Amino acid sequence: MNVTEFLDLVAYVGPPPKDLQTAPDHDVPDCYYSNFDDSYITFVGLEPDLKYLADREITENLQHGVGFSPKDGKWYGWSHRAIYGFKVGSTCVKGNCHYRAANEADEIEDAIRFWSDTGHINVTAEKVKDGVIHVSWEYDDTVQNEKLHGTISGVDWEYDPSSFGKGEWEAKTMDDAKRMAQDFNEGVS
């Protein structure tokens, strides 16, 4: 499906959101909005950027960052960084973009996993207050800035304790697949 056909099926054109209409010193183009829920899709003039949605024929329940493709029977989640499709049988494991910790212990493990990449050793994490985990690490000798070698650093990892997800799980229904697509959108946005 080409982008023009795609947009004719899923979107309408309207003025830019109010917060952008008052932008000083530049004109803001009209926008495409979803026929499904009126959410923003893209600016007029950026139609070629939607080729990845048109190619997958994501034409049902299209909303900002999530939609369904009857062509392949998958729910998709996306942002400008990535796109991925989910169906019954899709899985979610720690390290996936759509992984959401099931509880505080999972959140601490996920923070350690996230920061345990090249250049970081002896990564630890602990809860310092509700919604905040302090993660610390030592820089190893692979870090380009030699002044950092062997030094300790850290960051506060903030999370919403009221919005834990399912942890590791498998989609058993199409509603589950939609939830994975929504979580993926949040994870890559």
User: What is the number of domains present in the chain?
Assistant: 2
pLDDT of residue 19: 73
The answer to the question of residue 36 being in a domain is: yes
The answer to the question of residue 73 being in a domain is: no
The answer to the question of residue 169 being in a domain is: no
Instruction: List, for the chain, all residue ranges whose pLDDT scores fall below the cut of 70.
Output: 20-25
Given the DSSP bridges, would you call strands 31-34 and 120-129 parallel, antiparallel or unpaired? unpaired
What is the model's pTM? 0.84
pLDDT of residue 123: 96
Which structural domain range is residue 16 located in? Answer: 3-64
pLDDT of residue 43: 93
Q: What angle do CA 132, 138, 140 make, to 5 degrees?
A: 140
The answer to the question of residue 185 being in a domain is: no
- Looking at the structure, tell me whether residues 7 and 59 fall in a common domain: yes
